[in-house]
Amino acid sequence: MISKRFLFPALLALMLLALPLILVGLATILVYPTLPSLEALTDYRPKIPLRVYSAEGAVIGEFGEERRRLVKINAVPAIMKQAILAAEDERFYQHGGVDYMGVIRAAVSNFTAGGARQGASTITMQVARNFFLSREKTVTRKFNEMLLAFKIERNLSKDQILELYFNQIYLGQRAYGFAAASQVYFGKPLDQINLAEAAMLAGLPKAPSSYNPVANPKRAKLRQLYVLRRMHELRYISDSQWAAAQNAPIPVKRGNQEFGNSEYLAEMVRQVVYPLYQDKTYTHGIKVFTTIRLQDQLAAYRAVRRGMLDYDRRHGYRGPEAFVDLSQGGSDEQLEDALQDINDNDDLIPAVVVSASPKQIEAYCRGGERVDIRGDALTFARRALSDKVPLKQRLRRGSIIRLQKDAKNAWQITQLPQVEAAFVSGDPRTGAIYSLVGGFDFNRSQFNHITQAWRQPGSSFKPFIYSAALEKGFTPATLIEDAPLKFEADETGSEPWEPKNFDNKYDGPMRMRQALTKSKNLVSIRIIQKITPQYAQDYITKFGFEVDKHPAYLTMALGAGMVTPLQMLSGYSIFANGGFRITPYFIDHIEDSHGNVLQKNASPAIAGETAEQVIDVRNAYTMTSMLQDVVKHGTAIRAMQLGRNDLAGKTGTTSDSVDAWFCGFQPTVVGIAWMGFDQPRSLGDNETGGGAALPIWIDYMGKVLKDVPEAIYPLPENMVETTINEQGQPDSNGTRKEYFYQENLPASATPVESAISTLKNLLF
């Protein structure tokens, strides 16, 4: 029998022990009913950004505070689920919201470690915190978090909770949810990631900024190894999988690779959409489907970069991009810190020179790779290894440089170009834009050279003057003098002018076709003298050019006005499509988050309407024929390397080679290439449209026309094909063919020849 003497102390001790439980119970009874409704979970409506899609339906742009890609739990790869459970909550499917075993394990671990090293928040508790609570570390917040976890577990299934977690959790780089993070970090959908990538993603929830593979690759790697070890301990992966994943390379995507290199076009879309939907633009999941074709966009992007880098190499190495002091050492951590604020630029990788000599350079790349550069790979930058160059241009220990792999996968020294370039292409029949590259790098400069850069077109503008001349009775066979001219200020609108041909040579009388093929400046000036600058100024508005940008002076003949590449696309499309005015467009349609079409954009051709015919089909045919000769025999002959006979176009080089152009087409696609400096200056004495811009056009067309059959331009009605002699006169013994409007057929051509030509047209 227990003595009364000991009973009271025992009861008192029991009451003291029970009091916390009673208080917790009372608090639970009082607090539980006041917990927030779970409507935010059961009717989950996250902020979904504006997304821009290619014609094929691939995401090429995204705008919003939160990057999200919602994914159903049954679509999440098993390896991703296992990585998350191993990293965050291995008993998720066993506990009821709070893992008591986990709490005990964490408490023991923290006690033995002498501080808080391990948490005990379950996935359910993290969902409660992310949706309803702050991240403050207080007992009250933790208590509410646990109660909410119980409530969530009572109302939702485990898979529903896990799905919410997968889509809501913040993972750095503005990415919310693992599907978005997979795209942001690796440039691939979640269902395509491998074990090593899954483990790296699973390491992010603990501290996205600390374990971010973009910002902190080394810490990210350490966290990934921890996740892989936990997966192995839990028997999610085998010994061989564990070993392979630890050493698997993880190419993290940076910069404009994420959205198919379409930032300039995506920004154009945003500027169109925001006025329509205001702030809803960035949160309501609006989807914009563009006319951009992925193959074309990639071809254009690579062509522009290659063209700019080739130009840059022709003009020599300028020296290191920056310099970092390594006098206090040069550990990997210091080298990594030195590169921390240097942005990647696609395949132009930043590196720090660790050692340099005339025969070899050793460089450290972000992430730990060390590169040796020697032999021919040093050729481009060899001068910078000399003691004779200024210190700021010299390659030495601590220099920040750019590296790039060549066609043989060998590293070479390169540099970010100072020059700019742009390219745009589209369908001349509908106006749909297929590709648009507004500059070298959107992250470096958001200035869109396709729509914002007003530049002189030079000789690429001549076809519009020649087209005007055809309407004034000129023919491709008309003889025009190629000889020097001199003008006073009142004729030019500025100052006395003594124009010259590019090569400073004059060939005397020549046919108009020859003059365009050879891009003879003096012939173009004589043409505009004859038709008058006022007539030419009015005529070019048919092609979409603005009167105030092209003063009615003789200099208009040489492209002294101002145009944008987008205007040139529209203008050259008229030649390519037989004389019809089209308006280039890049948005096909807009949908809401449920797939309902909000707006549909279409050209007249797609809508079944008739586009406005602004020039005679015969004019378009004649100009196309002459522009084909520019490619076959003239300043653009380099394009014949594509092995096609249906290409037409015109080079353009302005005074002092400030701007270089090539504008060309095939019946299914028009492409406009431009190169120049933002602060206008010469590209160099030997830089022309044919040497600087045409290679970009060729590079693009070679890709997109690879499987396109060669086209034939049919001769329009009321045109005559006849043979002519060297003087441009119809001659049955002539060796050249020429095309004339029926009413402009020279008088010396006999009726028999005309009848034969007409019969040929009818038969063929």
- For 650-680, how does the pLDDT look when each residue is reduced to its tens digit (9 = 90+)? 999 999 999 999 999 999 999 999 999 999 9
Pair (438, 462) in one structural domain: no
Tell me what the mean pLDDT of segment 426-433 comes to.
Answer: 97
User: Position 444: which residue type?
Assistant: R
Q: At 222, which CATH number?
A: 1.10.3810.10
Domain boundary at 519, 537, 558, which? Answer: 558
Pair (535, 440) in one structural domain: no
The encoded tokens of residue 262 equal 């379409």
The encoded tokens of residue 616 equal 């005679």
For the CA atoms of 325, 331, 336, 339, what is the dihedral angle to 10 degrees? 20
- Domain-located, residue 507: yes
- Domain-located, residue 14: no
Residue 627: which region, alpha, beta or left (left: phi > 0; alpha: psi -120 to 50)? alpha
What's the CA gap between 177 and 418, in Å, rounded?
38
Pair (462, 450) in one structural domain: no
The encoded tokens of residue 666 equal 């095939």
Pair (450, 483) in one structural domain: no
750: which DSSP letter? -
Query: What are the beta bridge partners of residue 669?
Result: 666
What's the CA gap between 390 and 553, in Å, rounded?
48
pLDDT value for 754: 45
- Domain-located, residue 370: no
Query: Rg of the chain's alpha carbons, rounded to an integer?
Result: 35
pLDDT over 70, % of the chain? 87
Domain boundary at 524, 541, 558, which? Answer: 558
Pair (119, 235) in one structural domain: yes
Pair (42, 75) in one structural domain: no
345: which DSSP letter? B
Contacts for 83 with CB less than 8 Å, ≥ 6 apart: 195, 198, 199, 201, 202, 227, 231, 236
121, 182, 262, 459: which one is catalytic? 459
Pair (60, 71) in one structural domain: no
Pair (98, 220) in one structural domain: yes
pLDDT value for 600: 92
pLDDT value for 135: 61
Pair (465, 512) in one structural domain: yes
Contacts for 363 with CB less than 8 Å, ≥ 6 apart: 351, 352, 353, 354, 370, 371, 373, 401, 403
- For 700-750, how does the pLDDT look when each residue is reduced to its tens digit (9 = 90+)? 999 999 999 999 999 999 999 999 998 888 988 888 999 999 999 987 645
- Domain-located, residue 358: no
- For 453-488, how does the pLDDT look when each residue is reduced to its tens digit (9 = 90+)? 999 999 999 999 999 999 999 999 999 999 999 988
- Domain-located, residue 340: no
- For 289-328, how does the pLDDT look when each residue is reduced to its tens digit (9 = 90+)? 999 999 999 999 999 999 999 999 999 999 999 999 988 7
Please report the DSSP string for 654-721 in residue order: -GGG-EEEEEEEETTEEEEEEEE-SS-----TT--IIIIIHHHHHHHHHHHTTTSPPP--PPPTTEEE
Query: What are the beta bridge partners of residue 665?
Result: 648, 670
What's the CA gap between 435 and 297, in Å, rounded?
5
Please report the DSSP string for 218-230 in residue order: HHHHHHHHHHHHH
Pair (129, 217) in one structural domain: yes
Q: Which domain holds residue 596?
A: 35-65+261-317+418-457+563-706
3-state SS record for 508-558:
EEEEHHHHHHCCCHHHHHHHHHHHCHHHHHHHHHHHCCCHHHCCCCHHHHH
Cβ atoms within 10 Å of 358's Cβ, excluding its own:
11
- Domain-located, residue 214: yes
- Domain-located, residue 115: yes
- Domain-located, residue 411: no
Q: How many domains does the chain have?
A: 4
Pair (76, 221) in one structural domain: yes
> Which residue do the tokens 């400030």 mark?
658
Give the H or E element holding residue 466: helix 462-470
Q: At 266, which CATH number?
A: 3.40.710.10
Pair (59, 102) in one structural domain: no
- For 513-561, how does the pLDDT look when each residue is reduced to its tens digit (9 = 90+)? 999 999 999 999 999 999 999 999 999 999 999 999 999 999 999 999 9
Domain boundary at 244, 260, 276, which? Answer: 260
What's the CA gap between 251 and 77, in Å, rounded?
20
62, 88, 197, 258: which one is catalytic? 88
Residue 419 pLDDT > 90, yes or no? yes
- For 16-53, how does the pLDDT look when each residue is reduced to its tens digit (9 = 90+)? 555 444 544 544 554 555 566 777 777 778 888 999 99
Residue 88 bears catalytic tag = yes
